[in-house]
C-alpha cells in the first residue's frame, strides 16, 4: 500500500489506517478476542501500518487487544491512542489535567506492550484545562521519549492553534466523509496552513455509506447508532439517495460504494489518512482496495455536483455528544 505523511510531522503511515474501536466497543458485540487479533494482523499483512485505539474503548480492553496483536510487529507499525476522559470512561466527562495525562500515558504503554506511543491524541477538548497545559504536558512526554507525536480529536480551530503554538500538532482526528463535510469549512484549511495531517474517523458514515444499511436495519442494543439522529429509520430512508449516487459511480468503476467513499476522501488532500474499521476480513480487504482507486477530476466533479443537490437528514450526534465536538 502507498504511504502518506501526516502534515509536516514526518510521521509516515499507510494511506488507509485501521480504526480498532469497533472490535470490542461501540457497535454491539464484536468478534472474539482471538478473531480480532487475527484481523489486526491480517490488516498489517495487507499493508496497513497505522492502528487507532483509545483508553476509552472498553475502557482499556481495546488497547490491550491492540497491544497483544501488534507486539510481534511493533517496530513496523504506528500506534495511536488517546487520553481525555475521567477514569477512561467516555460517559463520565473530560479530564485532561496534566497528572491525568501522565497517568494515562504510563498505563497505555503497559497495555500496548510498548515503550512509546507514536501518536497521542487528546480525545476531546477539556474546557476546564487550558490547552497550553495539555500541549505542554504532551511536550514533556515527548521529551521523555514516552510519546512521539501529539494529536487532537474533534478540536475546533482556536484549540488547534493554541495547542500547535506550544507543541506542534501532528494530526487532527475528526469525523469526515461524504455525509459529514463540516471540516471543510475551517478545520481543513487550518490544517493545511499549519502543516497538520488529518485523520477522518467514520469515513464510511458509521457504515451507512457501504450501502448495507437501510430503514429496516436493526442494531444491537448496545450499538451507539441507536441514539444517533442520523440513524433513525426516517433519516436512513431519506439518506438512501446518497448511497444510490455512490452505487452508480461504483458500478461504473467496478468498485463498491465503500471504496468510492474512501477514494473520495483520499482524493481531497495527500495528507488525509482515513481510518475505517470493520470486524470482517472481506470488508477489510474491500476497504483497502480503495487505496488503488484514483478518482479522476471529472468523477470528482460529478460527485460534487450531485452532492450539491442532496441534503443529508439528521444530526450526526445527539445533543449531549455534539456539545463535546469542535471546541
Is residue 31 within 8 Å of residue 39, measured between CB atoms? yes
Query: What predicted TM-score, i.e. pTM, was given to this entire model?
Result: 0.97
How far apart CA 3 and CA 24 sit, in angstroms, is 27
* DSSP one-letter code for 316: S
Taken as a whole, the chain contains a residue count of: 327
Beta strands in 154-196 (DSSP E): 169-175
- The pLDDT of residue 276 is 98
Domains detected in the chain: 3-322 (3.20.20.100)
User: pLDDT of the chain along its 327 residues, tens only?
Assistant: 999 999 999 999 999 999 999 999 999 888 999 999 999 999 999 999 999 999 999 999 999 999 999 999 999 999 999 999 999 999 999 999 999 999 999 999 999 999 999 999 999 999 999 999 999 999 999 999 999 999 999 999 999 999 999 999 999 999 999 999 999 999 999 999 999 999 999 999 999 999 999 999 999 999 999 999 999 999 999 999 999 999 999 999 999 999 999 999 999 999 999 999 999 999 999 999 999 999 999 999 999 999 999 999 999 999 999 998 989
Three-class HEC string of 9-43: CCCEEECCCEECHHHCCCECCCCCHHHHHHHHHHH
> Could you give the 3-state DSSP secondary structure of residue 315?
coil
| Residues annotated as part of the active site | 57
What grid cell was written down for 280? 470482517
Closest Cα to residue 41, out of 292, 286, 287, 284?
Answer: 284
Mean pLDDT of the chain: 96
Amino acid at each position: 500500500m502507498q504511504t502518506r505523511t501526516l502534515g509536516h510531522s514526518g510521521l509516515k503511515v499507510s494511506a488507509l489506517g485501521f480504526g480498532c474501536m469497533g472490535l470490542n466497543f461501540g457497535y454491539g458485540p464484536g468478534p472474539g478476542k482471538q478473531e480480532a487479533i487475527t484481523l489486526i494482523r491480517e490488516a498489517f499483512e495487507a499493508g496497513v501500518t497505522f492502528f487507532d485505539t483509545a483508553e476509552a474503548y472498553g475502557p482499556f480492553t481495546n488497547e490491550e487487544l491492540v497491544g497483544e496483536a501488534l507486539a510481534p510487529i511493533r517496530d513496523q507499525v504506528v500506534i495511536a491512542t488517546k487520553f481525555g476522559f475521567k477514569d477512561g470512561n467516555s460517559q463520565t466527562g473530560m479530564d485532561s489535567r496534566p497528572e491525568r495525562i501522565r497517568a494515562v500515558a504510563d498505563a497505555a504503554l503497559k497495555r500496548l506492550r510498548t515503550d512509546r506511543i507514536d501518536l497521542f491524541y487528546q480525545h476531546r477538548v477539556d474546557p476546564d484545562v487550558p490547552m497550553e497545559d495539555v500541549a505542554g504536558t504532551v511536550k514533556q512526554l515527548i521529551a521523555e521519549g514516552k510519546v512521539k507525536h501529539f494529536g487532537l480529536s474533534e478540536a475546533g480551530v482556536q484549540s488547534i492553534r493554541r495547542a500547535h503554538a506550544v507543541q506542534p500538532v501532528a494530526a487532527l482526528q475528526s469525523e469526515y466523509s461524504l455525509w459529514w463535510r463540516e471540516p471543510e469549512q475551517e478545520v481543513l484549511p487550518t490544517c493545511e496552513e499549519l502543516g497538520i495531517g488529518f485523520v477522518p474517523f467514520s469515513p464510511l458514515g458509521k457504515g451507512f455509506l457501504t450501502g448495507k444499511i437501510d430503514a429496516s436495519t436493526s442494531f444491537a442494543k448496545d450499538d451507539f447508532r441507536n441514539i444517533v439522529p442520523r440513524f433513525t429509520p426516517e433519516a436512513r430512508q431519506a439518506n438512501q439517495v446518497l448511497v444510490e449516487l455512490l452505487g452508480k459511480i461504483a458500478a461504473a468503476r467496478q468498485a463498491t460504494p465503500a471504496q468510492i467513499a474512501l477514494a473520495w476522501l483520499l482524493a481531497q488532500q495527500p495528507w488525509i489518512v482515513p481510518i475505517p474499521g470493520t470486524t470482517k476480513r472481506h470488508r477489510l480487504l474491500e476497504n483497502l482496495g480503495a487505496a488503488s482507486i484514483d478518482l479522476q477530476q471529472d468523477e470528482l466533479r460529478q460527485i460534487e455536483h450531485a452532492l450539491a443537490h442532496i441534503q443529508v437528514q439528521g444530526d450526526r450526534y445527539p445533543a449531549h455528544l455534539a456539545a463535546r465536538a469542535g471546541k
